[in-house]
Amino acid sequence: MASSPSAFVPGHITGFFSTHSHENPEKAGSRGAGLTLSDGVRVSVERARETTLVLNDQRVSMAAVEGVLDRLGVTARVTARTELPVSAGFGVSGASALGTALTVNAVTDGKRTENELITLAHAAEVEAGTGLGDVVGQARGGVPIRLEPGGPPHGRFDGLPVRSRIEYVSFGGLDTATIIGGDTATLSRAGEEALAALLERPTLDRFMAESRRFAREAGLLTDRVEETIEDVRNAGGEASMAMLGETVFALGEGLSTAGYDPSVCHIDGGARVERA
Amino acid sequence: MASSPSAFVPGHITGFFSTHSHENPEKAGSRGAGLTLSDGVRVSVERARETTLVLNDQRVSMAAVEGVLDRLGVTARVTARTELPVSAGFGVSGASALGTALTVNAVTDGKRTENELITLAHAAEVEAGTGLGDVVGQARGGVPIRLEPGGPPHGRFDGLPVRSRIEYVSFGGLDTATIIGGDTATLSRAGEEALAALLERPTLDRFMAESRRFAREAGLLTDRVEETIEDVRNAGGEASMAMLGETVFALGEGLSTAGYDPSVCHIDGGARVERA
């Protein structure tokens, strides 16, 4: 533990998804598509007698992070920093879980491969009920398409070969656990249709259009989100809602052109360990 | 074709490998492990009546790039720039092929996914006889482990969750086509043993040790390469030979500590389209 590696895990916005439950959390998850963001979570860990998690200088509890540490059989002081809004559809819990897995493995001279650590973090996140597809998307980077649910080797993935500036504004959170723990039949049907439509024409414009259709059909749009998307569309831009938060994301300068003061980032390359 | 995207594809050093032939080039390839490098190839394309390839301001011919353009049904002027030595074990032909696939798809508003483009470039490189595993490693980034040969969805991949500074020196090229087109039984046996040993203990040190064992057992070491590796080892560092080139790579400051004047880069995150 002499050296002090940290991990950077990108934020992940899901545009649309369907839920797939399985008794084995490594095989459960979601199908769908999203964007990974250069705004993300940086995680460092120190071994400690008792596990604590400090996110942006505040002591918090995250079941997914605790699940990762349990699975790795260690207790640690985990420090996470992010510019992303929390509980607003950016996958902060998934990023914290994956960042913890990668960093603990590095500081303990661990002997797990990337696939093993991704699947371990994915399973912890699924069991915590806080996400179904963020961890695998964040591990992959780019514009991840989740073809089959679960962590590797169960899940199967593809992506869109594009990069873009991304803008976002967030008005607050939605309760992921309540939504993905409730009746997801309508949502999942809409998500399957969106995925089929994207695979038929795998472009960023199609991704945005199908994300909007999903948000509407799944009944998740709030008034503020709907108005903001409408504003961006009226200004000639492309925007949709981040699943699951009261958050609007747009391609390029979509939100600024429409008069908003958004956070600005770009599509990212994926989670990585960084030696200090 | 108004906008002008380019692609960056990292260099890829293979430490060890086994060859796996198949009549379908999408399923043929290699198993093994390597490093992707932040030194790489930047590719841009313009549609043109006749296909030409200019690498570092010199007109050259690369069968893998031509194979990509044929498969995509376009003719184009391809411009590639790299700081990497050519034909020296850095996967410049694979990077050029993958970069061409990604960039042509972007400039033609193409409708292929990342997996489709990777597999197309992989197949073109295999048919050209210039590489068996560079394209899929370069697409993935990091420290790719090729568990099963071929492009996605045939190939299977994992990786080591580590990052490091990498140094390299190159004394010249080896003829990849002659070596992988010849009798590869001894080489492949050594490569399979190295892969099993790495999966048993997936760390960077083990990767380096197995790469050295592979180079020796496969009979590919030249005197200059062997001496240089020895110099790094004597200075307390970790080094091995890049497959297939008369090239030595080292972790951290291995070569500079041993008195060499190496090129310096670091482990990279994988191929990406970049909008100009």
Q: What is the pLDDT of residues A151-174, one digit of tens each?
A: 999 999 999 999 999 999 999 888
Residue A215 CA to residue A231 CA, distance in Å, equals 16
pLDDT of residue B3: 53
ipTM entry: 0.93
What is the per-residue pLDDT across A191-231, written as a single tens digit (0 to 9) for each?
999 999 999 999 999 999 999 999 999 989 999 999 999 99
Q: Find, in chain B, the residue whose alpha carbon is nearest to that of A102.
A: B161
Longest dimension (CA), chain A: 55
If asked whether residues B134 and B262 sit together in one domain, one would say no
Residues B102 and B151 in one domain: yes
Query: Hey, are the CB atoms on A159 and B113 less than 8 Å from each other?
Result: yes
Q: Domain total for chain A?
A: 2
Q: Inter-chain contact A269–B273, Cβ cutoff 8 Å?
A: no
For chain A, give the mean pLDDT: 94
Burial class (CB in 10 A: 0-12, 13-18, 19+), A235: middle
- Helices B63-72 and B92-107: crossing angle in degrees, nearest 10, is 20
- Looking at the structure, do residues B14 and B141 belong to the same domain, yes or no? yes
Quick one: what percent of chain A has pLDDT higher than 90? 88
Q: Does residue B28 lie in a domain region? A: yes
Chain B residues touching residue A114 (CB < 8 angstroms):
142, 158-161
Q: Tell me which chain A residues have a C-beta less than 8 angstroms from the C-beta of B120.
A: none
Identify the pLDDT of residue B120. 98
Of A105, A126, A158, which residue constitutes the final position of a domain? A158
Q: How far apart are CA B241 and CA B249, in angstroms?
A: 6
Q: Is residue A169 part of a domain?
A: yes
Please check the confidence at residue A59 and state whether its pLDDT lies above 70.
yes
CB-nearest to B162 from A106, A159, A160 is A106
Confidence (pLDDT) at B2 = 41
What pTM did the predictor assign? 0.95
pLDDT for A3 equals 53
In terms of domains, do B149 and B208 share one?
no
Q: A53 - beta bridge partners? A: A60, A78
Residue B112 is part of which domain span?
A: 6-158
CATH number of the structural domain spanning residue A223:
3.30.70.890
The residue among A108, A138, A158 that closes a domain is A158
User: What type of residue sits at position A154?
Assistant: H
**Same domain (yes/no): A187, A150:** no
Q: What is the C-alpha to C-alpha distance for residues A163 and B5, in angstroms, rounded to an integer?
A: 9
pLDDT in tens, A238-257: 999 999 899 999 999 999 99
Q: Say yes or no: A115 and A102 in one domain.
A: yes
Same domain, B29 and B57: yes
Same domain, yes or no, for A177 and A64? no
- Please tell me the predicted confidence (pLDDT) of residue B110: 82
If one counts every other C-beta atom within 10 angstroms of the C-beta of residue B57, the result is 7
B227 vs B249: CA distance, rounded Å: 13
Q: What is the pLDDT, as a whole number, of residue A1?
A: 39
Q: Å from A183 to nearest chain B CA?
A: 32
- B269 → chain A, closest CA residue: A269
Name the residue with tokens 């990052």.
B163
Among candidates B158, B161, B201 on the partner chain, residue whose Cβ is nearest the Cβ of A273? B161
Q: Which chain B residue shows the shortest CA-CA distance from A158?
A: B115
Q: What is the CATH number of the domain that holds A112?
A: 3.30.230.10
- For chain B, which residues score pLDDT lower than 50? 1-2
pLDDT at A92 over 70: yes
Alpha-carbon gap: A223 to the closest alpha carbon of chain B (Å):
34
Residues of A with CB under 8 A from a CB of B: 102, 105-106, 109, 111-115, 117, 141-142, 145, 152-153, 156, 158-164, 199, 201-203, 269-270, 272-275
What pLDDT does A2 receive? 42
CA distance A140 to A159: 9
- Final residue belonging to a domain, choices A158, A192, A214: A158
Same domain, A144 and A219: no
3-state secondary structure (DSSP) of residue B78: strand
Residue identified by tokens 């399957």 is A192
Q: Has residue A272 been placed in a domain?
A: no
Instruction: State the nearest Cα–Cα gap between A205 and chain B, in angstroms.
Output: 11
* CB distance B36 to B10 below 8 Å: yes
Both A105 and A53 in one domain: the answer is yes
With 90 as the cut, is the pLDDT of residue A181 above it?
A: no
Please state the length of chain A. 276
Residue of A nearest to B152 (CA): A158
pLDDT, residue B182, reads: 76
Query: Measured between beta carbons, which residues in chain B are less than 8 angstroms from residue A274?
Result: 163
Q: What CA–CA distance (Å, rounded) separates B111 from A202? A: 6
Q: List alpha helices for A2-154, DSSP H.
A: 63-72, 92-107, 114-128, 134-140
pLDDT reading at A276 higher than 70 = no
**B271 lies in some domain:** no
Nearest beta carbon to residue B273 from set A105, A156, A163: A163
Q: Is residue A113 part of a domain?
A: yes
Q: Which ranges constitute the DSSP H helices of A108-222?
A: 114-128, 134-140, 176-181, 185-200, 204-217
Across A47-66, average pLDDT: 97
Instruction: Report if residue A271 sits inside a domain.
Output: no
Please indicate, yes or no, if residue B170 is contained in any of the structural domains.
yes
| Residue B62 in domain | yes
Residues B10 and B104 in one domain: yes
Q: What is the pLDDT of residue A76?
A: 96
pLDDT of A67 above 70: yes
